[in-house]
Structures are given as C-alpha cells and as structure tokens.
Amino acid sequence: MLITFFRAIVLYIIVLVVMRLMGKREISQLEPFELVISIMIADLASIPMTETGVPLTRGVIPILGLLVMHLLISVLNLKSSLARKVICGKPSILIYRGKINESVLKKERFTINELEERLRGKEIFNIGDVEYAILETSGEVSVIQKPNKRNTIPEDFNIMPEYEGISYDLVIDGKVSEENLKAIGKNYVWLKKQVEKFGIKPEQALVVTLDGKGQIFCQEKSEN
C-alpha cells in the first residue's frame, strides 16, 4: 500500500512536469493531437501507479516519448501551414452572413440545438442576431454578431476612456508580495502607510490590491 502511495506521487510529479512543459495553451483548449497525447499520458501513468510489479520506467519512458512527440508536432505546426491543416484541421463556418450553413453542420455533426447551446454560452439568445459563427479547430465556437445587435463601445460615441491597466496583488492572506511592490516602484514602508489608513497592518490583511488608477482595495482577515 505504501509503495503504491509513493509511486502515485512520483508519477503525479512527472505528469505535472510534462503538462507544464507542454505549455499553458494545452491546459485550456486542446487541439486534437494534444487531446490524444493527454489521454495517452493519463493511461500510461495509471498502469505503473496501480501495478506495483510494473517498473516505473514502463510508464515514465513512454510519457517522455509523448512529450518529445508533442514538441516535434508543435514545431511542425509552426513551420508548415500544410502540416497544421492536416494535423489540426481548419475552422468551419457554421453561420455565414446570417444564414446557417446546413452542409457544414452535417459535416461536423453539429445539431441546431447544439449550435444554439454554444451561442447561449456566448450570451446570444437569438440565432438571428448572428452574422458569423465559426467552429474553431479546438472545438470552440467564435461568434460575430450582426452590426445592429453588437454591444456598443465607447468608440461608437467618440469617447476615449481612461487607461485602466492591470491590478496588482500586494498582499494575499497576510503575505506581502515584494515582487509586485517592486513592479510598481514601491516598498514595504509605502504599503504599510497605505494599509494603516484602513486601521490594520499588511500582515493582518486578507487581500490588498492596487488598480491601474492607483486605487487600493483592502480587506482585513477574520480572526477565525
């Protein structure tokens, strides 16, 4: 039992490292070849994890082999558009200029109900509001609404909003982020002075953030 426990930990670390080496994109939206590799990695890791009589190398070596294969295919995708088309496929237009493309729906085995479901996921509740709907190679549906149905933006009214930038976490659960303080050109003394305006010290804060406009949000940790 203890051996199985430690084998599971070792394989978990190896698979985690491999997935990190594959990159962030593979964690969010998988291309077909990435999905295949992910499934195979999970299958290869499960065998030596539960079968103590199987050497760990029986799982580790094939997993590393799949990592090499993934890196080679990724480079091939970058270098060759033809290879990218063969390996990943190409996007399919489900709705073209406001009209549903029935032949493409049948080819992709996409039902009207599924299309409507995907549109609702984009907060579009009327299929008649769509100018283009594109099925991407990752399986996601990208949508362009008809001009008169799109949400208005400040540019439509010749308004230039103020620059907002990004928000920095300066304190999380009482721990000060020296890295973020350095990024904004501040130090602990400045942080302490700002947080004391809320009646607490930085170490007593649940979270302290600074947005692009220089506004600070601070919430104290509960005593519990």
pLDDT digits (tens, 9 = 90+) for 58-115: 777 887 887 887 788 778 877 877 777 777 778 889 999 999 999 999 988 888 899 9
Question: Domains in the chain, please, with CATH?
Answer: 2-86 (no CATH), 92-149 (3.30.240.20), 168-220 (3.30.240.20)
Q: Report pLDDT for 30.
A: 63
Tell me the C-alpha distance between 141 and 120, whole Å: 11
Q: Report pLDDT for 28.
A: 45
User: Is the per-residue pLDDT at 164 higher than 80?
Assistant: no
Residues 148-174 have a mean pLDDT of 83
Residues 162-171 have a mean pLDDT of 84
Q: Which residue has the tokens 């999905």?
A: 35
User: Is the per-residue pLDDT at 131 higher than 80?
Assistant: yes
**Type of residue found at 224:** N
Contact indicator for 131, 145 with CB cutoff of 8 Å: yes
Task: Name the residue among 71, 61, 55, 70 with its Cα closest to residue 14.
Answer: 61
